[in-house]
Structure 1
Amino acid sequence: MADRSFLDWPFFEDHHRVLAEELDAWASVAAERIDHNDIDKACAQFVAKLGQDGWLRHSAVDPRSADSRMDVRSLCIVRETLARHDGLADFAFAMQGLGTGAISLFGNAAQQSEWLTKTRSGEAISAFALTEPQSGSDVANSAMSAVPAGGHYVLNGQKTWISNGGIADVYTVFARTGEAPGARGLSAFIVPAGLPGFHITERLETIAPHPLATLQFDNCRVPKEYLIGDAGQGFKIAMSVLDVFRPTVAAAALGFARRALDESLKRVTTRQIQGASLFDLQMVQGHIADMAVDIDAAALLVYRAAWMKDMGVPRITREAAMAKLFATDRAQEVIDKAVQLHGGDGVRSGQKVEELYRDIRALRIYEGASDVQRVVIARQARAAFEEA
């Protein structure tokens, strides 16, 4: 069983500990009941089940409550717990939150009531459409346009590597409205699936299967009331959403790493070599120790960032970047050690550590690649030095 002693850290309140306990019991059963052979269907089933059983209430603010807010520690606990059990379950939950994060943080009452009610219940699947072919990490270089035309904006352009692309019911789409050059000229829109001029042009396959697609917009007319916040706020909105959800990517990596350590301990304590358990080898003990240290260090960074956001710190760009960089990179190392400790079984298709090896790699790229996080951290360090 995964170590839960971290829940006694001062970052958490009693309701977080209850959430972790109850979700762990739920996930241990639910994950086994979903057929993963059809990825689109499996994701839809996970969303429906997560909504039906109430877990998606943590993915967005409650539109019925004026005081509702995002609890980032709960988001991280949910993602860590689901990832430890099933990567696709984590993906399904995460995209419900990320896809509607802009509506949670900046949407008006009508937008929240219309869409968050549906995504929190699992009735609708959401997606976050920011990346373009020429602008992955460079959001300010986005070229997709949104031109006012009467009571609508007319969208033209392309988005790619969009999670839930092709199965989502609603997309948060960022496009250039031109109030200023660069980052200051972007806006965010709610785009329901099925609007004329909105097409899925390609489904993308990766080493860890998820629904991914390229989206094409050809004179797609979006009602002006589907603008999120004010025109020209798109970059601010996108960065604010990523501030909240980057620590949760780190939490998912943490969940993968914890599962890898559990699988490794099970392996080395039951596998015999020369009349003794594999664990008795000092080199193996060294690997296990390194894995445990990396996991605890990552957890401290993850939940520090989440705690700071929950305590009202306006921006946690530095802390979120540190958490994502360290947790995803170290989880890759932890899982690589787990594969090594499993020997041939570690690279055998269908084995849990082989699945984890494929699952972890994308986390070092999406929502800000590791090298981009290094740039963010370095710039924050320089700014702090110059202010001192």
Structure 2
Amino acid sequence: MNQKEFDDIVPRLLNDYSNISIEEYREVVEFIQARYNGYDPIISSLSSREILQSFDYFARSYAELVQGNKIWGSSSKHYILSNLYKASYGLTSENRRNIFAERGLSIYQDNVGFGRRTGFVKFLFFVEQEVPYLLIVKEYGYNSITNKIEEVVDTIETDYLKDLGFSVIENEVKIWYMEDGEFYQQVQLKPGLVDPEWRDLEVKEKLWFENAWLTQQFELKRDKKDTFFFEKGRQFDAYNTIKAILMGARSEILIVDNYIDSSLFLVLGEVAESVAIKVLTSKLHGDTPVAIEKYKAQRGNFEWCQVKDFHDRYIFVDNECYLLGASIKDFANRATTLSAINDKQVIKIIKDYAIDKLKEALTKKVLD
């Protein structure tokens, strides 16, 4: 059973269960088992609770059929197939596409050959503000992306994107690419991935493109580390780590740090203007008030307030959250750590609390 056949049969498990054959049941079971046998980026993003829930539904379905020795076609058939339907969470194309977008996932792949392996590319795929982006970069080889753009996109779609539930045409994927270190283009293809139309990227789009790659290289370098320790005096390493985290933002940044100075805005000044930035602090050091006003006037899409409700420091970047052992301005002046918080519920609680405090402070400022 392939992905399309699975997508077609899953709704029938509920709406047309009486006509599902035992052979089709077995094919669905085998498809689900295959998905869970090995690494899958969507399944890996699910919480332990969600995975255990799916396992429970799968076990209930299988136990009712096999261990209960029920006769196929009896009144238990609806129970068997409805539980199998629930066990399919994260496996249909629509499910996978939604999870990929909602959880801010991305995929990166290098050494993708084209033109009979006369050229090679690497790519980054993600969704930002409900728009899917495919960024492609020429790696090596004498063939060019422009000459073989239809083949390059078709290979990436067939080998990677379809598995995530995406279609370049149906889901209106924006395709940007860069080759020779300076040639930036957007290409749009028609159904069948034919008749390409190009346009040059604007300066802001080029910067945004480069920031996305910077973040990806950082992710590869740190090999998905969740915790960083910086010895006393490693301020530059700490600065680069925090910068890479912030530059990886695609939609929003929220910083909670009681003690900030104007150096924070040197980093934030490089963040794409499409990213919403919010800062909660308590004390402003040096010329920070001037830096804030000038930054806000020039950039927009920026909110800040002074509150005294936090002890710890946090950086929220899209769906990620980091706990800092010291203020950003003093990071690694003494030995300290930076740790990712991976519990989604905890992230939501902290973030919601911070947003509420920001709204309260801004409302109070308006009333005053």
TM class, shorter-chain normalised? under 0.3
Which structure has greater helix proportion? Answer: 1
TM-score, normalised to structure 1, is 0.26
TM-score between the two structures when normalised by the length of structure 2: 0.27
Q: Comparing both chains, which one has the higher relative contact order based on Cα–Cα distances under 8 Å and sequence gaps of 6 or more?
A: 1
* Structure with greater proportional strand content: 2
Return the index of the structure with the highest Cα Rg. 2
